[in-house]
Amino acid sequence: MDYIVEPGKISGEIAVYGAKNCALALLGASVLTPNEIVLKNCPCIEDVNNMLKILKLMGKNVHIEGNKVSISGHLSTTSVPKELAKLLRGSSLLLGSTLARYGNIKLPLPGGCAIGARPLDIHLDGLRKLGVVVCQQGNTLNCFGIPKGNVYTLRSKSVGATENLLCACALAKGHSTLINCATEPEVVALEKMLSSMGARIDGIGTSILQVCGVDSLSGTQFTVIPDRIVAATYLSCALASDGELFVDNCNPTHLYEFLKIIKNSCKLNVYENSIRVANSSLKICGEIITGPYPAFATDIQPLVLSLSVLSKNSITIVQENMFESRLEKQCEELSKMGAEIVVHNNKAMVVGGNLCGATVRALDLRGGAGLVVASLGAKGPSRICGIENISRGYCD
């Protein structure tokens, strides 16, 4: 199926649902205990549904009631089903928890968005440092050993590696220090959920985590944080189409860098848990450089790239520092709509102007959302193919 997008104002009120990347990390951590984990505000999206299917096939009891999901029981196998693992990057988030609780895991290499090579070397290097034996056979990782506390410095701030290593350390024998950890809000949410289960973690929200391993963890109830990327998507849709939109149930502090970039392009009201945009006249300009939190989020980059190409008489430089294949391919799609972009070495120079509706392809999740944003501000309808990439991370 394709989307046909007819330009029109995106206006009204909308609430943001739970963050995909938070829910996936919390679901991965549910393996740490046989006791019941109840997640509220869990988003009903393809990636989360597939992660729940994986947990179910591995023996967990999974009960879904609207946006409330409960998971309990022991794993009956530590072998992650291949066909499902391939569908999402989040399947790799079972590594740390399954090793910590069961001492082994067989993980087919995970899939996910084709935005770069996305190696797992930091995850595996860190696990080795905790005493785990890692063997790769073809496209499958076989890991053995109950993690033991140690000191480990992540070569770069990886969200997934921080999450996996934290789960591994939570039940490890002894004390661990993890240095150069990612501090994305989704990572901090995991730190908080683990603490509520009885994990002993110092340094929550910082890049140095001290973890004192415990023998067992209890169940808990936890609310998935609002999806900051979805909030940015809704706001971008309104900005591109000159709509007036009230976005509720979001956390504006998680969107600080994005709000800084759009604030000169609209009337912006920021409240405690909500944001309103109106009267947009796009003037995105200057330099946008992605990096680990709190720097500008790579997942918001394709949205702002679209807003830049729609900013008449503006020049914007967009530099993608996180995923090496993300920017160039997206620029190619936008060029089909008439965007003026020169891109080289993950740096794009965008000359804003008018876009015309065209047939374009959603090559990945956020890139697809970026094309919806661009289409809303274009002249004439657009056809967006590859929308299965969009439904992986967006409800409705």
Is 120 near ligand EPU (CB under 6 A)?
yes
Q: How far is the CB of 272 from ligand EPU (least distance, A)?
A: 25
How, if at all, do strands 286-289 and 315-319 pair?
parallel
Is 198 near ligand EPU (CB under 6 A)?
no
Among candidate residues 22, 42, 44, 113, the one labeled active-site is 113
* 188 vs 358 by CB, closer to ligand EPU: 188
Is 119 near ligand EPU (CB under 6 A)?
yes
Distance CA 98, CA 157 (A): 22
Contact with ligand EPU (CB under 6 A): which of 159, 217, 225, 358?
159
**Residue 44 a catalytic site member:** no
Q: How far is the CB of 323 from ligand EPU (least distance, A)?
A: 6
Is 236 near ligand EPU (CB under 6 A)?
no
Is 299 near ligand EPU (CB under 6 A)?
yes
Distance CA 348, CA 194 (A): 40
Is 89 near ligand EPU (CB under 6 A)?
yes
**Within a 10 A sphere around the Cβ of 295, how many other Cβ atoms?**
13
Q: How far is the CB of 271 from ligand EPU (least distance, A)?
A: 25
Contact with ligand EPU (CB under 6 A): which of 158, 265, 311, 330?
158
Short-list 284, 285, 263, CA closest to 275? 263
Interface of this chain with ligand EPU, residues 38 to 67, rule: CB under 6 A: none
Q: How far is the CB of 89 from ligand EPU (least distance, A)?
A: 5
Considering CB under 6 A, how many residues would be counted as binding ligand EPU? 27
Is 95 near ligand EPU (CB under 6 A)?
no
Is 121 near ligand EPU (CB under 6 A)?
yes
Contact with ligand EPU (CB under 6 A): which of 298, 308, 311, 375?
298
Is 241 near ligand EPU (CB under 6 A)?
no
Is 304 near ligand EPU (CB under 6 A)?
no
Q: How far is the CB of 327 from ligand EPU (least distance, A)?
A: 13
Q: How far is the CB of 393 from ligand EPU (least distance, A)?
A: 6
* 114 vs 259 by CB, closer to ligand EPU: 114
Interface of this chain with ligand EPU, residues 309 to 368, rule: CB under 6 A: 322-323, 365-366
Interface residues toward ligand EPU, by CB under 6 A:
20-21, 24, 89-90, 113, 116, 118-123, 156, 158-161, 182, 184, 298-299, 322-323, 365-366, 393
Catalytic residues: 113
